[in-house]
Amino acid sequence: MMKKTLTLALVGLAWLSVPAQAQNDRSFEIAKNLEIFSSVYKQLNLNYVDDVDPGKTIKVAIDAMLGSLDPYTNYFPESDIEDVKLQLLGEYGGVGAIITQHGDSIYISEPYKGLPADEAGLKAGDRIVAVNGESTKGKKVPDVSSAMRGQAGTAVTLRVERGGEELERTLIRREIKLPNVPYSGFVGAKGDVGYIKLDEFTNDAAKNVREAFVKLKKEKPSMRGVILDLRGNGGGLMNEAVDIVNIWVPRGILVVETKGKVASKNLKSYTRLQPEDTEIPLAVLIDGGSASASEIVSGSLQDLDRAVVIGQRSYGKGLVQNILPMPYNSQMKVTVSKYFIPSGRCIQAIDYSHRDENGRALKVPDSLKTAFKTKAGRTVYDGFGIEPDIEIEPEYMSNIAIALVQKQLIFDYATAFYRSHKEIASPENFEISDEIYADFCRYLKEKKLSYNTVTERVINELRDVAKQEKYDSAIEQQLKEMESRLATEKESDLQKHRGELCDMLKAEILTRYYYDQGRLQGALKSDPVVLRAVEEFGTKGVKGNN
């Protein structure tokens, strides 16, 4: 009996020693591979035929290492800290302008209202010729953007070309804080539904959304409901997401829980403030660009049956990142946990720990998706983003619209229109008239617009294959007839897709006169997802899906 007891005790001690042994083995593997890496670089530095740039080479190595994990774990050297501030805080040192590339040239596509570029009189459509005397020829957007950014209070000189004339402006950089709520107002035929657009979950996002809601409610106490638009919102700070949910949900409600490797860092986040309104009908708009914090807000409001979610399935990012300080003013953003919303589900759609033979991360298979219940007992699923309660089919761009964007022709026409029209109607009243559209069509004719459709590419591929298989002479006549009919159809594309093209043209022109806010405001009247949300309030008049 004693021998058996001793044996059990020894087995128990051996079991207890396994974690310690595993940890020692892991530490040895880390030390061994770090030594190998150091030796590899040392030998490169000593023996490689050309000089090796240490900063560049090590950065490539770090990026490759982190790239094997997930796309959200990144290293930022000191030179890229402005990009970190922009991502997390919506802030950077610069002049306040969006720039774009057209061919070999860089253009200002939008100056932000009231910021240095706007105050200096720079306009959308201005071609940037030089930054601080250095030509932009042959440079890409990141290069020019980097040159324009810098510490607040420092000067930057831009030389731009406008209508054949060159202008030079010296601007003083500022700490640019992008508005996370670019527009709020009313929609619907009666103008009695509130609308709030949230672009990013940066600092003060919850404060700004709350203030926008309070202002709307004060202006129209009898409004039928409110729409929170999170389409295209890639997320940001988790605490801001929790506080936004709190605007419409009572204090003390669990919104999100994070779980990771380090148990001491796991966190449950509850609403902590007095809500503004727990009864008003609420709709949240999402699409494939709604991720992370957007999914916390839409998913938790769905789980709590507090809002109806409308649009398309969200991105599916259920991973949480922390910023860690690194030596020499560098930083690293590291995925530290997954988040879980009130029903208990995680909406992460891609499993980065498993990859196929080509190294691509795998989507969570349907067989592993789990059903959960909302507060009212409705079934929801994990593993593939937030599925809307009311799904609206996405609208895809036509071939001609894609061509106009790629060739910058809508952008260029809007620039010419702005230079020849001193003013236009307000955003809610401006429309593309028959006269404007006819002028636009003439402009495209002058520019000799041409584009290839998928059908044309398929015909050409079929012709090539037929030639290889020696069927070309037998079917060439039919192919030519198809091409002829397609050419006739393409001639009517400007009229066939007039509605889509007018919406795009209207948005670009409104941006010239009323900035981003005007573009958003002008699009609301014809936005199918917004119109569906307004319709939902009209038919149900209740909160969420009770």
Domain ranges of the chain: 26-68, 91-177, 185-393, 399-528
Confidence at residue 487, expressed as pLDDT on a 0 to 100 scale: 83
Statement: residue 434 has pLDDT above 80: yes
Which pLDDT band, with edges at 50, 70 and 90, does 543 fall under? very low
Q: Which DSSP symbol is given to 151?
A: -
Confidence at residue 16, expressed as pLDDT on a 0 to 100 scale: 46
Which of 126, 199, 303, 389 is the catalytic position?
303
Confidence at residue 512, expressed as pLDDT on a 0 to 100 scale: 95
Which of 126, 287, 305, 317 is the catalytic position?
317
Q: What is the pLDDT of residues 472-485, one digit of tens each?
A: 899 999 999 998 88
Statement: residue 405 has pLDDT above 60: yes
Report the length, in residues, of the chain.
546
Q: What would the CATH number be for the domain defined by 185-393?
A: 3.90.226.10
Asked if 383 and 346 touch (Cβ cutoff 8 Å), the reply is yes
Asked if 121 and 160 touch (Cβ cutoff 8 Å), the reply is no
Statement: residue 438 has pLDDT above 60: yes
Is 317 an annotated catalytic residue? yes
pTM: predicted TM-score of the whole model, two decimal places: 0.85
| Helix or strand holding residue 256 (H, E) | strand 254-260
Statement: residue 545 has pLDDT above 50: no
CA 234/CA 229 separation, integer angstroms: 12
Statement: residue 451 has pLDDT above 80: yes
Q: Which of 304-318, 394-408, 450-464 has the lowest mean pLDDT?
A: 450-464
Name the CATH architecture for the domain at 91-177.
Roll (2.30)
Which pLDDT band, with edges at 50, 70 and 90, does 26 fall under? confident
Is 50 an annotated catalytic residue? no
How does the average pLDDT of the chain come out, rounded?
Answer: 89
Which pLDDT band, with edges at 50, 70 and 90, does 21 fall under? low
The set of long-range contacts for 371-378, using a CB threshold of 8 Å and a minimum separation of 24, is: 372/303, 372/343, 372/344, 372/345, 373/343, 374/302, 374/303, 374/304, 374/305, 374/343, 374/545, 375/303, 375/304, 375/305, 375/342, 376/305, 376/544, 376/545, 376/546, 378/305, 378/545
Which of 290, 292, 314, 330 is the catalytic position?
292
Contact partners, residue 542, CB within 8 Å, separation at least 6: 281
Q: What is the pLDDT of residues 37-78, one digit of tens each?
A: 999 999 999 999 999 898 899 999 999 999 889 999 999 888
Is 243 an annotated catalytic residue? no
Statement: residue 15 has pLDDT above 70: no
Q: What is the DSSP string of 292-309?
A: THHHHHHHHHHHTT-SEE
